Amino acid sequence: MARPSDKRVLVVDDEEDVIVFLSMALEDAGFVTDSARSVDEALVKVKAAPPDCISLDMVMPGKSGIVLFHELHKNPAWARIPVLFVTGHAKDERVKGDLDAAAALAQSTLSGPATYLEKPVTAEKFVQAVAAAVGVELPETGEGGSAQDVRGELERLIRTADPEALAEALRVLKSGS
């Protein structure tokens, strides 16, 4: 089975902070990333070196993500690249129509996006979706998980913990022993 380091993901979004967040999540999981801030820039990068997967924002200034999706499907080699739509506007009527059109286009080809993720998306959900799209099995994080995994587990434990046990844990942490 392929490893994350064998797969390159192109992150396409007009917001730099979204690119940084999604790219860092992927890189932390071992994926190789590239980014583009527009459909035109993404097309240049796809032409130069087709990625294994594309994370695509639907709503961007100028050309929308659906334009890139249509361009990809004009080229048989690019049509096979899995595309994950990442949008904060999935419920907007115009974007919903674009997503429906993309799903219909995907069904009429050999492959295409079967998934869209709604912003704000968690790093874990995003990485899992990319891994599934490119056929990579991610290692179980368990005890040696990422800081985000540990933080999530701590938050879950704190929500369900006995108040006296929390007070004792806090006392131990503060004392350093």
Q: How confident is the model at residue 81 (pLDDT cuts 50, 70, 90)?
A: very high
62/12 same-domain check: yes
122/47 same-domain check: yes
Instruction: Specify the pLDDT at position 99.
Output: 52
160/91 same-domain check: no
Largest pairwise CA distance in the chain: 64
96/148 same-domain check: no
76/162 same-domain check: no
Instruction: Specify the pLDDT at position 87.
Output: 80
39/80 same-domain check: yes
83/156 same-domain check: no
Residues 3-25 have a mean pLDDT of 95
Q: Which domain holds residue 153?
A: 141-177
- In the numeric block, the tokens 């874990």 are attached to 124
Q: The dihedral of CA 22, 20, 97, 77: what is its sign?
A: negative
Q: Regarding predicted confidence, which is higher, 16 or 143?
A: 16
The least confident of 47-51, 78-82, 87-91, 95-99 is 95-99
- Rounded (10°) CA dihedral 121, 122, 128, 129: 0
Instruction: Specify the pLDDT at position 120.
Output: 83
Six-digit token pair at 159? 């929500």
62/74 same-domain check: yes
Do the beta carbons of residue 159 and residue 165 sit within 8 Å? no
pTM of the model: 0.70
50/89 same-domain check: yes
Q: Regarding predicted confidence, which is higher, 136 or 1?
A: 136
125/39 same-domain check: yes
CATH number of the domain at 122, please.
Answer: 3.40.50.2300
Q: How confident is the model at residue 173 (pLDDT cuts 50, 70, 90)?
A: confident
Q: Regarding predicted confidence, which is higher, 175 or 84?
A: 84
Instruction: Specify the pLDDT at position 169.
Output: 78
Q: In the chain, how many domains are there?
A: 2
167/115 same-domain check: no
Instruction: Specify the pLDDT at position 58.
Output: 83
**Residue 77 dihedral angles phi and psi, to the nearest 5°:** -70, -40
